[in-house]
Structure 1
């Protein structure tokens, strides 16, 4: 292996769907693989200047709204009265440890998760919350003397599926961008944190809760709280037990949903052809990785390496040569994932019924939030921290033209605006841009509230519990 004499940015343009990945390769050797620097990876999307040459799709980093890219309302004098934000967690480690991963090093111990606590007496404190004197931070330790570490876990301080420091920074920057838009420019939110105006919801998973914490660090961090307050409010992140959560499609709580999804997958000619066309490709992946996975499972083990500039997996064939995962291999995996995602969340026969059961409860909450905001409710910003399996069903429900796998830190904004004449309009932005629909059911750059709610109603089932038990 040739050792790079200096840090080098590598950008790989992939032909399938105009995909682009950005990775950063660091000086490395066989004894040490250091994780990517926070500020380097994020350079792919940190600049707020000219965006004409910005990649449309980057799995490693979703585009975020900025004051320069955020579109003005279509009616002069209109004011924003409410926003609902749905995010995918930031950059994470793979959710499974495969045999080739044992020599990798993933470091998460240098990432801090902060909470709103009591006022700090030390104003020179370097914490992002200068008024906090208690900071809780969970750290993973993988001791070398562990009897299982060498055969079951990579090196470093990250568990499978954990938010990385890169992922933390992605959401801090998203929170900071939203502060410039919603606090500084539009005055939707107060300059200092008010728990009555912000409602935070997350799945009960460490990486999504940490993503929520870091986004709030960017939105309400340094200098955003009154130092004169006796006791700042606690930042509450609301979760549901996984058994009853509906931020993802919960087949465990809804058996009929699992039946419907299985029907979509088994009856799909598209997915049948996908399997038939990739029999040899799948065998090749199994021979290299040592285990058979779903397409999203293959993506999970390959894409984090690309995002961090780690070498891709190789397998000695026993005859003096090696078979390796290449970027062409990774491109094909991501292309197959995109085909599968579009079919199971939008195009497949029976998907409409799947979405009604799977995303209907969340759709109902979106509607309630909009109507409460119209009635002058106190909550002005509802923030939901979830997964790709939160964003993809929402994109399917909204009939988005973009059915690709949501990148890390994807962000979907559903905003409610009021015109000077008292009319209400909904606007939807996905990863910076106005969401486009395949059927043009409404202009989501300025959709009348009544039309938007009427569209949502077709996905809302009154008696979900009974529908879920149907056989």
Structure 2
């Protein structure tokens, strides 16, 4: 990936395949700011399509994706056949002698006819390509935050310094495992046993949780219907080019297949070098489809949708940033890596009014970097300074000397809510004051979650 100033030249790569982290083009902070904490939100790596589409002639895309040869062998902990002490509960994965037992297995995908082909992907599964790009992302994190900036320790030792979390979806869990291995390979693990955190479905906030928030689901369905009315006529202009690949029907936001599904399949195929019909390579065709799908998912979202969708995630983020700012070295947490989805990244950008209206590429990432003002090296303080120091500390909040920088697709993003005077670092609007950032997040964070998630008709 090119540096931010050249980002436009690589936009086609970023939006059709993966989006690697650019270490060499990373812009350093002003000299009087030092990095304190990093929050990473990354879309999983390349995967197979989540549905079977465009397989009939003349499109002829594969029904079965033979791109998942890696990590098919497993060694799983199993229960021992005997207990060490009569009547004592058995511990899964440990024998009566206290030694671990394991079972070697090999996973294959079985088709409806009973055939099982080695290397076949499940729908939506992380492919060998996706494993490599997420591993490479972890390596890039290491190059940036360890080798270049010296921010993280060379050898991992504490779970307290590294926070790892994924949604409960195999492709995001496996992506996070690959990233972790790239960041801290076995030779640098130092006995570090990383904890991969996963929340129960009702508690998930790494995406807009419509399963736990009925009102959010109602609102999103309404937006989708409105988008279909607005964009289907424009999409009909592509019928003469695309209907032959869709069984004679036109491509519509609410059609079968849905336009979002077709976009997903084409993006997945392109990312893996799978040939697609020439019409799906035309910028005018794909540009219109992308605009319509992005509008369906993210345009014209109200403050209510932002609160119910990304508010809980941003609330968690702001809480951890403030804890670090308030506690300093007493809070050892340095990097937090969240493995999530394209809709999460786009929704975050949309909620903060910095969305580029492009569907996020595989392994795209958003980072929120927390910086603090460096402590100036001064001569021995005077008696007057010593007397006044406690009172000066009380007058200033811990976050007043801290700044947030948001980066997406290797670009710094200047948040509109931080544009005002005193709300960003002088001369660098991309460095938002933590106070200004928290003020906006407080507006976006639901106070009575269950009440706000209950549709008015059911109250």
Structure 2 distance, partners of 1:280, 1:78, is 52
Tell me the alpha carbon deviations over residues 427-470 of structure 1, each in whole angstroms, 9 at most, x when there is no partner. Answer: 11111110245677466621111011112111111111111013
Counterpart check, 1:209 vs 2:134 = no
Post-superposition Cα deviations, 1:58-80, rounded to whole Å, max 9, x if no partner, equal: 22344433332111112x13211
Determine the structure 2 residue equivalent to 1:261: 220
State the match for 1:64 in structure 2: 20
In 2, are the aligned partners of 1:341 and 1:404 still within 8 Å (CA)? yes
Number of the residue aligned with 2:193: 234
1:180 to 143, 157, 168: 143
- Preserved CA contact (<8 Å) 2:4 2:411: no
Give the aligned CA root-mean-square deviation in angstroms.
3.3
Say which of 342, 349, 370 aligns to 1:388: 342
2:446 to 432, 437, 461: 461
1:450 matched residue in structure 2: 435
Q: Is the 8 A contact 1:139 1:157 kept in 2?
A: no
Q: Which residue of 2 aligns with 1:430?
A: 408
Matches within 5 A, 1:115-134: none
User: How far has the Cα of 1:105 moved from its partner?
Assistant: 4.1
Is the 8 Å Cα contact of residues 112 and 137 (structure 1) preserved in structure 2?
no
8 Å contact 1:401–1:437 — kept in the other structure? no
Matches within 5 A, 1:156-171: 156-171=119-134
Q: Look up the match of 2:69.
A: 109
Determine the structure 1 residue equivalent to 2:369: 415
User: Alpha carbons of 1:283 and 1:73: their partners in 2 closer, same or farther (altered >3 Å)?
Assistant: same
Runs of 4+ aligned residues of structure 1 deviating over 6 Å after TM superposition are 47-50, 112-115, 133-138
In structure 2, list runs of 5 or more residues that go unmatched: 78-99, 250-255, 376-399
SS in 2 for 1:445: strand
Cα separation, 2, equivalents of 1:358 and 1:49: 29
Give the aligned partner of residue 11 of structure 1.
none
Deviation sequence 1:180-216 (CA, Å, 0-9, x none)? 2212232322112221111111110010001100111
Does residue 335 (structure 1) correspond to residue 288 (structure 2)? The answer is yes
Q: Aligned with 1:189: secondary structure?
A: coil
Alignment of 1:73 with 2:26, yes or no, is no
Q: 1:65 to 1:155 in 2, by over 3 A?
A: closer
Closer/same/farther in 2, CA of residues 451 and 415 from structure 1, 3 Å limit: same
2:90 aligns to what?
none
2-side partners of 1:294 and 1:278: how far apart?
12
CA contact (8 A) 1:363 1:456 kept: yes
Q: What is the aligned partner in structure 1 of residue 38 from structure 2?
A: 83
Alpha-carbon distance in structure 2 between the residues aligned to 1:87 and 1:161: 17
SS of residue matched to 2:267: helix
CA distance in 2, matches of 1:81, 1:453: 17
Instruction: Provide structure 1 residue ranges, at least 5 long, that are not aligned to the other structure.
Output: 1-44, 118-132, 227-231, 314-323
- In 1: Cα distance, 2:213 partner to 2:407 partner: 30
- 1 CA distance for matches of 2:208 and 2:195? 24
Give the C-alpha shift of residue 97 in structure 1.
2.0
8 Å contact from structure 2 (residues 164, 336) kept in 1: yes
In structure 2, relative to structure 1, the CA distance for the partners of 1:166 and 1:50 (3 Å cut) is farther
Q: 1:80 to 1:306 in 2, by over 3 A?
A: same
Give the whole-Å Cα distance in 1 for the aligned partners of 2:187 and 2:245.
51
Which residue in the other structure is 1:141 paired with? 108
Tell me which of 208, 211, 220 is aligned to 2:184: 220
Q: Does the CA-based 8 Å contact 2:137-2:182 persist in structure 1? A: yes
2:418, 2:437 within 8 Å by CA — same for their partners in 1?
A: no
Report the count of equivalent residues. 385
Higher-Rg structure is 2
TM-score using structure 2 length: 0.75
Query: SS at the partner of 2:444?
Result: coil
